[in-house]
Amino acid sequence: AVRRGRRAEFASFAWEGEIPDPQDPLTCERSCIHVNGPLNPRQAALLRWTRQLIELRTTVPSLGTGGGPSEHHVWTYEQDNVLVIHRRGDQGPDALLILSFNGARTPVLLREPGGHWRLRLGSTGQEGEVENRERPPQEMVIMSEGAALSLEAYTAAVYLRVA
């Protein structure tokens, strides 16, 4: 029953090949990041991505967890499987997080929040990032008529407002 459930779960991910056996010690070994040993390129990219996210949380007040009042707004683009989060703090630039949960490239028209935004961190596009696919635009301006984006599948992007 457990293996049937895992097959069904992995089918929803469009998994190719043999489904990892949770009872096999090699499954655990292949899934672990060994920070003190050699990393394969994907593990190294995920570790860099995680460290960069932690650095943003500690250096950009609007992404932090404490220190002062903050507010956030969330927009969902359900038909596109895109989530947009705007965070403001009492210091530093606003942050805009754009998350695509779509399995294919997705066009989306952002109408809010208005302003000039610069990409600070993206999960795709540059060597050393998690995926080597097209990077979100380096800068965008969201005005009342909107800003058109084309997001790669399963993309995360963090933008900071340009003063």
* Enclosing domain of residue 136: 50-161
- Statement: residue 131 has pLDDT above 60: no
How much is the pLDDT for 159? 95
Contact 43, 33 (CB under 8 A): yes
Contact 83, 107 (CB under 8 A): no
Looking at the structure, tell me whether residues 28 and 94 fall in a common domain. Answer: no
| Residue 12 domain flag | yes
- At residue 22, φ and ψ (nearest 5 deg) are -65, -15
How much is the pLDDT for 61? 86
How much is the pLDDT for 90? 79
Which residues lie below 8 Å from residue 125, measured CB to CB, with a gap of 6+? Answer: 131, 132, 133, 134, 135, 136
Looking at the structure, tell me whether residues 67 and 118 fall in a common domain. Answer: yes
Looking at the structure, tell me whether residues 9 and 87 fall in a common domain. Answer: no
In the chain, the number of structural domains is 2
Report the share of the chain in percent with pLDDT over 90.
31
Q: What is the mean pLDDT of residues 145-153?
A: 90
| Residue 39 domain flag | no
Looking at the structure, tell me whether residues 67 and 126 fall in a common domain. Answer: yes
Distance between CA atoms of residues 96 and 147, nearest Å: 13
Q: Where are the alpha helices (DSSP H) in the chain?
A: 2-11, 25-31, 41-59
Query: pTM for the complete prediction?
Result: 0.73
pLDDT digits (tens, 9 = 90+) for 11-51: 777 777 787 777 888 888 887 766 677 777 777 788 888 88
Looking at the structure, tell me whether residues 123 and 88 fall in a common domain. Answer: yes
| Residue 43 domain flag | no
- Statement: residue 129 has pLDDT above 80: no
CATH code of the domain containing 91: 2.60.40.1180
